[in-house]
Chains A and B, each alone.
Chain A
């Protein structure tokens, strides 16, 4: 069976299981919405400071909600013992990583699709532009690539719920800074200043590094 057929089979299985159990999506989605609502009430969002505060609120909601889902991706399979069954199969470990990554991106993506209109309405910001989709995609890939690797690492420990954010947050800082700043630039009506770094390019560079390292090391993390 080809590499991509294996990836597709595992992804199909994960999505089908999640659609039937609805354990991750619902929790992530509700959490993201609640964070946005709380931030909307907590911050003083006048016209002149929106661009400084709103992107941070959006990405904090995305990151916290993502970690809820990332924590369950592999931990649930390990708890049930089905991860061992998957590892018994003659499947390339990179295929397992990619399938889990794509599943996580899909779950986070659905949450983002729900949260973005709510964010735009609550913060009164017209956000739906092509560059925003690219920024969200690059940010999600960065969070999910690191998160998938470390969720496998944390799943083997009893303190996984505490360990996962401690491991993931420091590593995704470059992507988060890039995502917040790039989103903020979109909110400035005058457009980006000439001295603004190419945030999207930096995010893509970090994504490539995270993805490459995670794919190469996943086998050593997942196997005993």
Chain B
């Protein structure tokens, strides 16, 4: 990847499930170090877009590259660059919090995996829960553990699908701290949310997706909150 090329490049991306088109030709770029918020009504294609970027779902058409690597042909390299937080924690309930992190540390070949896992457990405030099974954690605690797992291998691109689901105030503050840290280290972030205020506060650019297409994109610093609120209400209708 050259120094000037975007970190995430999407050209004419299409995805259908059966006969139902979900993404109808997305063109989008996200620069390295940028925090982009993805808004849109339910069924707009936000989660599908993130899943494709995480090399979890294959597109039907178009081209997507992350750090210059094609997400279909170089899927394994792309996966090692990406950290993904879904709106559900998706942990192994029978494993303890620490065992969950250790397992994924091995999957991502994290050096000093145990030290890294323990440090992250401490960062998300779960050091006392390290030996407890993930299935016994509260929804918010499980989401924090999910956040720690996503950061385990120090990914360059964070994909967050409604990451604040189930988080309390303290958890949300923690999430914001992690996002700020990730950005200060040059990391790129793409996150979905239904909360416009949150999107405005945490992002450098606002993207709106509707009916499988990007219908709005503006840098956050150029936006008047009231005008963007009106646009968002239009999109939601």
**Interface, chain A (partner B; CB < 8 A):** 1, 5-6, 9, 13, 16-17, 20-21, 80-82, 84-92, 223-224
Q: Which residues of B contact A5 (CB under 8 A)?
A: 106
Q: Tell me, rounded to whole Å, the shortest Cβ–Cβ distance linking A94 to chain B.
A: 12
Q: Are A9 and B94 in contact (CB under 8 A)?
A: no
A87 adjacent to B107 (CB under 8 Å): no
B66 to chain A, nearest CB (A): 13
Given contacts A223-B58, A224-B58, contact A91 B94 (CB under 8 A): no
Contact B107 A6 (CB under 8 A): yes
Bound complex: CA of A224 vs CA of B108, how far in Å? 21
Q: Beyond A89-B104, A89-B108: 5 further Cβ-contacts under 8 Å?
A: A9-B106, A16-B94, A80-B90, A81-B86, A88-B56
Q: Is the CB of B76 within 8 A of A82?
A: no
Q: Which residue of A lies closest to B15 (CB)?
A: A224
B104: chain A residues at CB < 8 Å are 85, 89
A92 to B99, CA, bound (A): 21
Q: What is the bound-complex CA distance between A16 and B100, given in angstroms?
A: 11
Q: List 6 A-B contacts (CB under 8 A).
A: A6-B107, A9-B106, A13-B103, A89-B79, A89-B107, A223-B56
Contact of B106 with A90 in the complex, beta carbons under 8 Å: no
Interface residues on B, range: 20 to 34
**Which B residues are in CB contact (< 8 Å) with A17?**
92, 94-95
Chain B CB within 10 Å — which of A21, A80, A85 has the most?
A: A85
Q: Do the beta carbons of B90 and A85 come within 8 Å of each other?
A: yes
Kindly list chain A residues whose C-beta atoms are within 8 Å of the C-beta of B93.
80
A223 and B72 CA atoms in complex are apart in Å by 12
Report the bound CA distance from A13 to B95 in whole Å. 8
Q: How far is the CA of A224 from the CA of B72 in the complex (A)?
A: 12
Partner-A contacts on B (CB < 8 A): 51, 54-58, 76-77, 79-80, 82, 84, 86, 88, 90-95, 99, 103-104, 106-109, 133, 149
Contact across chains for A88 and B82 when beta carbons are under 8 A apart:
yes
The 7 closest A-B pairs by CB, nearest first: A81-B90, A89-B107, A17-B94, A1-B109, A90-B79, A20-B94, A224-B57
CA distance A81 to B54 in the complex (A): 15
In the complex, A82→B107 CA distance in Å? 14
A86-B100 Cα distance, complex, nearest whole Å: 11
Q: How far is the CB of A7 from chain B (nearest CB, A)?
A: 11
Residue ID in chain B nearest A92 by CB atoms: B76
- A90/B90 in contact, CB under 8 A: no
State whether A82 touches B91 (Cβ < 8 A): yes
Docked CA distance A80–B93 (Å): 9
Contact A81 B108 (CB under 8 A): no
Cβ of A86 and Cβ of B56 under 8 Å apart?
Answer: no
Chain B residues, Cβ within 8 Å of A80: 90, 93
Chain A nearest CB: distance from B124 CB in Å?
17
Q: Do B103 and A84 have beta carbons less than 8 Å apart?
A: no
Cα-based distance from A9 to B103 in the complex (angstroms): 7
Cβ contacts under 8 Å, B80 to chain A: 90
Please give, as numbers and ranges, the residues of chain A lying within 8 Å of B54 by CB-CB distance. 88
Complex: chain B residue closest to A83, CB-CB:
B90
B57 / chain A contacts, CB cutoff of 8 Å: 224
Quote the shortest CB–CB distance from B77 to chain A (angstroms). 7
Q: Contact at A82–B94, with CB atoms within 8 Å?
A: no
Give A17 to B91 CA distance when docked, in angstroms.
12
B109 / chain A contacts, CB cutoff of 8 Å: 1
Closest chain B CB from A61 CB (angstroms): 28
Closest A-chain residue to B150, C-beta based?
Answer: A88
Contact among A1, A82, A87, A91 with B56 in the assembled complex (CB-CB below 8 Å): A87
Of chain B, the residue at the smallest CB distance from A82 is: B90
Instruction: Report how far A5 CA is from B76 CA in the complex, Å.
Output: 16
Chain B residues whose C-beta falls within 8 Å of the C-beta of A92 in the assembled complex? 76
Residues of B within 8 A of A88 (CB): 54-56, 79, 82, 84
C-alpha spacing A84/B79, complex, angstroms: 12
Report the minimum CB–CB distance from B84 to chain A (whole Å). 5
- Cross-chain contact B94 with A21 (CB below 8 angstroms): yes
Contacts of A86 in B (CB 8 A): 107
What's the minimum C-beta distance from B195 to chain A, rounded to whole angstroms?
A: 23
